[in-house]
Structure 1
């Protein structure tokens, strides 16, 4: 009888102090990916992952996230595409809730490209840089070539009810005017 009680106590002790815990699998939907840059969606939060070329260790991956409150994903895509058409004179700066992102446009081999520059936690000391992306790669990342761009507007939760109260937390991806004049977009 003592052996049975001892065995029961040992088994109970092992299960009570277990260090491994099974977590719920969260659904993360890949919108698009090209090489080391990808766009992912979880409910109404979008995340761009990229391989940081600014570090000596090429296995460093970074990401930045934002909500799609005012069609910000489509706005970011349009901002990049307009930058390919008419390259801005300086970097376009976007403030996200946790980070500052700069869109750096440059011509590589005569082709317009864009690079994400991330100031991690809004600190200019910690900088991450993605690879340069051309229009075809941007289309692939934003799901324009595979049809997954339609998932931008599918609501994960009901966050758009009080959009006026949320304007202080969101990043604006509106296209800046050049010299005070509005640009006309090509359709």
Structure 2
């Protein structure tokens, strides 16, 4: 009888371990990061991860994601870069599949900066805010200084999809964002 109970316990122990499955490790590629804001890529999906300064707990990290359809990553970078040159009078509103993002431009000590404001799940009640970022930090996050910006350009060309994933809503009286130049092999300015 002891042998049967021991055998039963061994079989039960093996079946308990058989319930654990090893999952594939998702490969996230870091395009760029500066302090608490980073841009990451998985397949054709891009995620901006940031430390939420709008909460009392500074260990809160939030993110928003979108696909690089129609070169949206380059378009977002150009939109921010143009905002540094000609500061918009009001926030630029971007509608993503799951969230609403506002680009808030402000001069801090005479330097143009941008802040991501996220309305989580398109609900104005839940708001996340990134730190203010200057042009040098944005270039680093979008991989312009390290050359990793080529990673997101290849993804858009491989997909060959002509749908727009982000809807840009310009403030009244603002010009539409400039389309990136067709020569994508240019070296970034220093």
| Common topology (TM > 0.5) | yes
1:133 aligned partner: 133
2:171 & 2:127 partners in 1: Cα distance?
27
Matches within 5 A, 1:98-177: 98-155=98-155, 159-161=159-161, 163=162, 166-167=163-164, 170-173=165-168, 176=170
Distance 2:58 2:145 in 1: 28
Paired residues, what number? 180
Shift of 1:173: 5.0
- Greater helix proportion: 2
Partner in structure 2 of residue 17 of structure 1: 16
Residue segments in structure 1 that go unaligned for 5+ positions in a row: none
Q: Cα 1:33–1:106, aligned 2, differ >3 Å: closer, same or farther?
A: same
How far 1:20 sits from its partner (Å)? 4.2
Which residue of the partner structure matches residue 185 of structure 2? none
Counterparts in 2 of 1:64 and 1:124: CA distance versus 1, 3 Å: same
The CA deviation at 1:73 is 0.2
Q: Per the alignment, do residues 33 and 123 of structure 1 end up closer, same or farther by CA in structure 2, a change over 3 Å counting?
A: same
- CA shift at 1:8, angstroms? 3.1
CA offset at residue 23 of structure 1? 1.5
Distance 1:182 1:123, change over 3 A: closer
Give the alignment's TM-score, normalised by structure 1: 0.86
Matches within 5 A, 1:25-64: 25-64=25-64
Q: Secondary structure at the match of 1:41?
A: strand
Question: 1: distance between equivalents of 2:54 and 2:174?
Answer: 34
Indicate how the Cα distance of structure 1 residues 6 and 157 shifts in structure 2: closer, same or farther if over 3 A, else same.
Answer: farther
Per the normalisation by structure 2, the TM-score is 0.84
